[in-house]
Structure 1
Amino acid sequence: MKLALVLALVALEAAQASPFGTVQSASVKGKLTCNGQPAGEVKVKLYDVDTFDPDDLMAEGVSKADGTFTLAGSEKENTKIDPKVNIYHKCNHKGICLKKIAIVIPKDYVSEGEVAERTFDIGEINLAGRFSGESVDCIN
């Protein structure tokens, strides 16, 4: 039984790393504030969430001085990608590490090809609030 599980995991990993698959893309935008003021220079990263191996970084950047950001990226996968955006910030946080908010991008916003057909708008987020699943990240 254990051998069958190990073989299944190895096969799944090999399938994800295979040269076959489809290039898929996602795009996300939003505006970040801290206590009502634009939050510029906030690190944002777009990932494809993977189950059995590390998540794939699709794009990264920082918010502009007005708090806005846009990220777009693509990844080759055998199954549909599971995009998310991570936001790393220090708003109302005194620790040496950054607070991290992860937002899942709906599958409706995943496109085939290198360029996303639609951009998911997360809207305006006040980073001063508390968010479900929020964590502290020292290695980002």
Structure 2
Amino acid sequence: MFVIIFLLIAIPLVVAREQSVRAVGTLTCHGVPAQYAELQLVSKKVFGGDAFARDVFTDPSGYFQIAGYIDPSTWSTIDARLYIWHKCYEKPYEQSDPCSNWFEIAVPKLYINEGPLAQKTWDMGEIRLEVPKDGQKLDAC
């Protein structure tokens, strides 16, 4: 009985820890900065919904930086996903405002940091939005 109680207390204490993630990059559309595209960083959890969600928009040069943090009280590890909403299409004449394309990118485990401030940053470089992405969808509008 003592062993079961010990395991029920010890396992969550080992699993629960502060973690963080940070990503930077530039979004372009047909060689032009993708201004004011929306990005959201989310950590999916098995139980209890998403751990964190941070929203940012690209600046006039298409640059973004986004970071998130999960505290030990959530009893979960980060499974970080970056969602990107944009109005760039494979063919420029396909513009369909007010609809937005969106896709999801999994943050590599290599860039999941221990502690509340990310020491390693995932530099995604330039992401060309006109190139179709796996799983890309068009928002219902």
TM over 0.5: yes
CA distance, structure 2, for counterparts of residue 29 and residue 136 of structure 1: 24
Contact in 2 for aligned 1:23/1:74 (Cα 8 Å): yes
Aligned to 1:56, the other structure's residue is in SS state coil
| Equivalences for residues 30-49 of structure 1 within 5 A | 30-49=25-44
CA distance, structure 2, for counterparts of residue 41 and residue 118 of structure 1: 25
Which residue number corresponds to residue 78 of structure 2?
A: 81
Q: How many residues of Structure 1 are paired with residues of Structure 2 in the alignment?
A: 123
CA distance, structure 2, for counterparts of residue 59 and residue 83 of structure 1: 11
TM-score normalized with structure 1 length: 0.77
Contact in 1 for aligned 2:27/2:58 (Cα 8 Å): yes
Contact in 1 for aligned 2:43/2:80 (Cα 8 Å): yes
Can you give the 5+ residue segments of structure 2 that lack an aligned partner in the other structure? 1-11, 90-94
- Superposition deviation, residue 89 in structure 1: 0.5
- Superposition deviation, residue 79 in structure 1: 3.5
Which residue number corresponds to residue 108 of structure 2?
A: 106
| Equivalences for residues 1-140 of structure 1 within 5 A | 21-76=16-71, 77-92=74-89, 93-138=95-140
CA distance, structure 1, for counterparts of residue 75 and residue 125 of structure 2: 31
- Superposition deviation, residue 56 in structure 1: 3.2
Contact in 2 for aligned 1:45/1:57 (Cα 8 Å): no
Question: Percent identity, aligned pairs only?
Answer: 31
* Structure number with higher strand proportion: 1
Can you give the 5+ residue segments of structure 1 that lack an aligned partner in the other structure? 1-15
- Superposition deviation, residue 53 in structure 1: 4.6
CA distance, structure 2, for counterparts of residue 22 and residue 48 of structure 1: 14
Letter in 1 for 2:68: G
Which residue number corresponds to residue 10 of structure 1?
A: none
TM-score normalized with structure 2 length: 0.76
Letter in 1 for 2:79: D
